[in-house]
């Protein structure tokens, strides 16, 4: 049953071929068997999951249950869950049990979906490898010596290892798309403001966006239908009508114009990755799409701009973790300053401390205009590149990550090399655009991802293009040979 997609599970639940309690118990048993190898979950909510499954079965028996009613899935451990520990992958929040649900969590509860547990992640979503988690690294199911990507590595690996048919995730600079590419699954980051951030622990507020990871574009569309929508508790959430993301999956690709940025195929791209991506683009051309070479002239500035803006916002957001109100608190502080220093020093990991220091420096008097202000100006230029490009093309395609999954520790001593793992994904967050990664082949028996970037609120178009590609290929059905 672990090879069933969300769409297939939903249809079989509606047809009474098995119950939600049966499929939920199956996945819980599989997690017990597989997760000691991969470390995908921080918390497994077995008792809650079975209670939710029992309630879902009652709704299914009554008829007219929603599509995801009774379907098991996982939440990234960045979404607050009432009564369930929410750690954000950090020692700072190892004892934090929220008294409320994030809007995304509440939406899935209302749908009747079943939460299997909370997935591991880079600490406070800061990382591209899932090596910064306080709870230990997640291992890539395709090669346990390699990283799964980050920060949503737990969600990606859980789906790839068939320990959940789908999972929520977040993307600040590529944290859905990059691990989706490295683990051979499908992931989508919606337009900024499309999904509520209320109850989602903040890293960089102008960049963070919730999204989904699943095996296929169809499954991603089903999950996004549950998540998307306006929330008056989130001031950045946009009151825009939400389409049925499954409605246009079957649209023809004839007449679609695909832009291929020349800057995405220059120095630094793994030759094997480039070959698989180019093959995928040719597949679209065969299906009737028109391919057009374009330029995103300021794309080389995305990484330096991002690594000023994101740390600056992280510095502000993480100032609330001071040992006073909630989270980790040092033992026997001598005074208030000692409480602050030791609580934060003990609670945060090295990468989080690095980014707080960089961000605080960039926001300090005398440097704000030179660094943060200038980076925001560059951000506007990057966004304008996309605005200009979408006057000529319907969607932009290129690689998701510069190479397949890399070995643990291979970039640990070089933060810049790690940051460059997000070189193709960061610009999408700076511009607030939707982005998606779909599997497009293997290099050295490791997955490679094709990135699709759309105009604002063009999630339906991305899902349509991804679905049509997956109808013509089988890359999204491939599983690691080591899986039982």
In this predicted structure, the answer to whether residue 354 has a pLDDT above a threshold of 70 is yes
Band (pLDDT 50/70/90 cuts) for residue 379 is: very high
What range does the domain containing 117 cover? 6-256+458-477
In a domain, 362, yes or no: no
What tokens does 362 get?
Answer: 């960039």
In a domain, 429, yes or no: no
Nearest to 97 by CA among 43, 39, 164, 152: 43
Band (pLDDT 50/70/90 cuts) for residue 267 is: confident
Whether 90 is catalytic: no
pLDDT over 70 percentage in the chain: 100
- Selecting among 10, 19, 20, 76, the annotated active-site residue is 76
In a domain, 302, yes or no: no
In a domain, 293, yes or no: no
Whether 76 is catalytic: yes
Average pLDDT over residues 319-336: 95
- Selecting among 128, 133, 152, 175, the annotated active-site residue is 175
How confident is the model at residue 481, as a pLDDT?
Answer: 84
Whether 175 is catalytic: yes
Give first-to-last CA distance, the chain, whole Å.
12
CA 395 from chain center: how many Å? 20
CATH code of residue 97: 3.90.1300.10
What tokens does 47 get?
Answer: 């008792």
Average pLDDT over residues 115-140: 97
pLDDT, tens digit, for every residue of 448-461?
999 999 999 999 99
Average pLDDT over residues 353-374: 93
* 8-state DSSP, 232: T
What tokens does 223 get?
Answer: 């999950």
How confident is the model at residue 484, as a pLDDT?
Answer: 62
- Selecting among 90, 133, 151, 375, the annotated active-site residue is 151
CB 164 within 8 A of CB 116: yes
In a domain, 326, yes or no: no
In a domain, 388, yes or no: no
In a domain, 321, yes or no: no
In a domain, 446, yes or no: no
How confident is the model at residue 365, as a pLDDT?
Answer: 85
Average pLDDT over residues 297-306: 95
**Count of domains for the chain:** 1
Burial (CB < 10 A; 0-12, 13-18, 19+), residue 365, is exposed
Q: How many of the other CB atoms lie within 10 Å of CB of 47?
A: 8
Question: What is the chain's alpha carbon radius of gyration, rounded to the nearest angstrom?
Answer: 21
């Amino acid at each position: 049953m672990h090879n069933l997609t969300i769409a297939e599970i939903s249809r079989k639940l509606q047809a009474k071929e098995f119950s939600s309690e049966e499929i939920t118990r199956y996945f819980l048993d599989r997690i017990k068997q597989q997760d000691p190898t991969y470390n995908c979950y921080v918390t497994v909510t077995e008792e809650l999951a079975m209670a939710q499954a029992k309630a879902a079965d009652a709704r299914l028996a009554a008829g007219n249950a929603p599509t995801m009613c009774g379907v098991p899935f996982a939440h990234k451990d960045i979404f607050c869950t009432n009564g369930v520990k929410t750690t954000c992958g950090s020692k700072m929040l190892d004892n934090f049990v929220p008294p409320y649900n994030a809007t995304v969590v509440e939406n899935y509860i209302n749908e009747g979906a079943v939460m299997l547990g909370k997935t591991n992640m880079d600490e406070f979503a800061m990382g591209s490898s899932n090596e910064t988690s306080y709870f230990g690294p997640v291992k890539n199911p395709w090669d346990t010596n390699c990283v799964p990507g980050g920060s949503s590595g737990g969600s990606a690996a859980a789906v790839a290892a068939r320990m959940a048919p789908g999972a929520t995730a977040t993307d600040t600079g590529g944290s859905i798309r990059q691990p989706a590419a490295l683990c051979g699954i499908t992931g989508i980051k919606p337009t900024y403001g499309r999904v509520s951030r209320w109850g989602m622990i903040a890293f960089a507020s102008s960049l963070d966006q919730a999204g989904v990871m699943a095996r296929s574009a169809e499954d991603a569309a089903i999950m996004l239908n549950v998540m998307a929508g306006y929330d008056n508790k989130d001031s950045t959430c946009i009151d825009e009508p939400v389409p049925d993301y499954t409605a246009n999956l079957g649209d023809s690709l004839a007449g679609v114009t695909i832009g291929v940025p020349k800057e995405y195929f220059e120095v630094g791209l793994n030759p094997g990755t480039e070959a698989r991506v180019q093959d995928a683009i040719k597949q679209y051309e065969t299906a009737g799409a028109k391919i057009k070479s374009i330029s995103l002239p300021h794309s080389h500035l995305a990484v330096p701009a991002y690594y000023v803006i994101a740390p600056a916002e992280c510095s502000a957001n993480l100032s609330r973790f001071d040992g006073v109100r909630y989270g980790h608190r040092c033992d026997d502080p001598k005074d208030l300053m000692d409480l602050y220093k030791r609580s934060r020093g003990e609670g945060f990991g090295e990468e989080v401390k690095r980014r707080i220091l960089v961000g605080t420096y960039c926001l300090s008097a005398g440097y704000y205009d030179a660094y943060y202000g200038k980076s925001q100006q560059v951000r506007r230029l990057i966004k304008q590149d996309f605005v200009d490009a979408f006057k000529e093309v319907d969607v932009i395609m290129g690689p998701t990550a510069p190479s397949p999954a890399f070995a643990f520790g291979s970039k640990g001593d070089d933060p810049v090399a790690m940051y460059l793992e997000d070189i193709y994904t960061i610009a999408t967050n700076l511009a607030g655009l939707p982005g998606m990664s779909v599997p497009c082949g293997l290099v050295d028996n490791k997955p490679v991802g094709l990135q699709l970037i759309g105009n604002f609120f063009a999630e339906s178009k991305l899902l349509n293009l991804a679905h049509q590609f997956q109808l013509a290929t089988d890359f999204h059905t491939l599983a690691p040979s080591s899986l039982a």
